[in-house]
Amino acid sequence: MRIVFLLSRADEPGEVPRAVLTRAGHLAARHDVEVVSVFRTRDRPHTAPGPGVPLRHLVDRTGPVPVPLRPTALTDRARQQLAAVPSALADPALDPEFDALTDTELALALRTLDTDVLVTASPALLRAAADHAPAGAVRIHESPWAGEGEPPPGTGECDAVVVRTEGARRRLAAALGAAAREPSAVRTAAIPYPAPGGFRPRSSRTARTAVLAGPPARADHAIAAFAAAASSPAGSGWRLRVFGEGPEPPRLRRRVAELGLYERVELLGPSPHMAAEWAKASFAVLPSGSAGVLEAYAAGVPAVAYDEGGGAADVVRDGVDGLLVPPDDVDALADAMARLMAADAELLHRLGANARAGVGRFAPEGVTRAWEELCAELVAARAPARRAAEPGRRRAAGAEHAGVPPR
């Protein structure tokens, strides 16, 4: 099979680019795989694509003026004018950096794709894929949606939607309503992100360090809970290290100052060396989402998290490899952290050992096999439509080589 993964920013750190590029590398052992990134944002991607996986960018955003990464006669002024026009393909609420220049390049790239399967990894790409992807290609959307609010518009128009956990899949099927239960309608599947492969340094869980990694949403909960736990007898000498990026740091720094935690809470921004950072941690704090939980588990680091659908609770097994507390209950979060700070460390080491042993649930081999099976079934079902679309696909490819966007 030929499989193309399409995402907005493959060069950036984060769970989505890492998972897509890792998965593409595993699938490339038996399939023709390409990763297409709408934006080029760095000279070198944070996560390198695996062997045999070409990474193609559409628009270079590393300079002051966006530049299409294909031969074009557009002048700097024309590019600037197009970049000033709002996107007609992407909702600015989903991604405000899309514009008319991006629309042009994305539509052309989609119309000229020669692929059996197109996997979109951002909700901002759903509309473009629906409007411009080849008629015979299977469209799969890998959705970060986990149960809060309504699924992004267009989610139910794909051939299949993949979410990370069975709980999220059930919530998605319910949200999509009867259409998701009809045999001819969108298929929903639960396939987790793969656990990090290769050698991963392990934590001894002897450092008095807790780590929060990922988007800073509700990091203020973690800081407040840490302040309470660290003031207990068990909390002496412990520190909290916060990794990630977003608009929150100034507010978080003020909160750290208010609590007098200058020397015990570190706001460090994103790190390209999280495997090493997890090896220096004793437990993870996950007040929002599940970013970093598999990396933590691969290092043998247990997690404390809120027990809510779509977050770490879909991965963490309470009392087995982590502790779950009621959502938004900062006092309960502090109590759980204090339990893992206990001097005898029996609970900490037991949960950590189980986290490391249980990470095999997310082994790359099983995740790759699940993706292969899903793609093969959908491609087989779409084979007649693909044969009918073949002449148009050949014309589109010829137009691209001639430098003329197909109509």
User: Is 135 in the same domain as 169?
Assistant: yes
User: Is 219 in the same domain as 309?
Assistant: yes
pLDDT score of 331: 97
Smallest CA-to-CA distance from 274 within 258, 294, 257, 248 is with 294
Give the range with max mean pLDDT: 74-78, 86-90, 272-276, 291-295: 86-90
User: Is 121 in the same domain as 244?
Assistant: no
CB atoms within 10 A of CB 282: 23
- Compare 207 and 288 and report the one with higher pLDDT: 207
Q: Is a pLDDT exceeding 60 seen at residue 394?
A: no
Q: Is a pLDDT exceeding 50 seen at residue 237?
A: yes
Q: Is residue 44 part of a domain?
A: yes
CB atoms within 10 A of CB 60: 14
User: Is 185 in the same domain as 290?
Assistant: no
Q: Is residue 132 part of a domain?
A: yes
Q: Is residue 99 part of a domain?
A: yes
* Residue 117 φ then ψ, to 5°: -135, 130
Model pTM score: 0.81
User: Is 236 in the same domain as 163?
Assistant: no
Q: Is residue 202 part of a domain?
A: no
User: Is 236 in the same domain as 331?
Assistant: yes
Q: Is residue 201 part of a domain?
A: no
Q: Is residue 40 part of a domain?
A: yes
User: Is 56 in the same domain as 179?
Assistant: yes
User: Is 266 in the same domain as 188?
Assistant: no
Domain residues for the domain of 310 are 209-361
Q: What is the pLDDT of residues 320-372, one digit of tens each?
A: 999 999 999 999 999 999 999 998 899 999 999 999 999 988 888 999 999 99
User: Is 139 in the same domain as 44?
Assistant: yes
By CB neighbour count within 10 A (0-12 exposed, 13-18 middle, 19+ buried), where does 346 fall? exposed
By CB neighbour count within 10 A (0-12 exposed, 13-18 middle, 19+ buried), where does 220 fall? middle
Q: Is residue 199 part of a domain?
A: no
User: Is 143 in the same domain as 273?
Assistant: no
CATH at 34: 3.40.50.2000
Q: For residue 310, name the pLDDT band (cuts at 50, 70, 90).
A: low
Range list of β-strands (E), 244-347: 265-267, 283-286, 303-306, 322-325
- Compare 380 and 51 and report the one with higher pLDDT: 380
Q: What is the pLDDT of residues 153-180, one digit of tens each?
A: 888 889 999 998 888 888 888 888 754 5
Q: Is residue 200 part of a domain?
A: no
Mean of pLDDT values over 52-62? 95
User: Is 23 in the same domain as 120?
Assistant: yes
Mean of pLDDT values over 106-121? 96
Domain count, the chain: 2
Q: Which of 56-60, 110-114, 152-156 has the lowest mean pLDDT?
A: 152-156
Q: Which of 63-67, 137-141, 352-356, 388-392 has the lowest mean pLDDT?
A: 388-392
Which residues are paired to 283 by β-bridges?
210
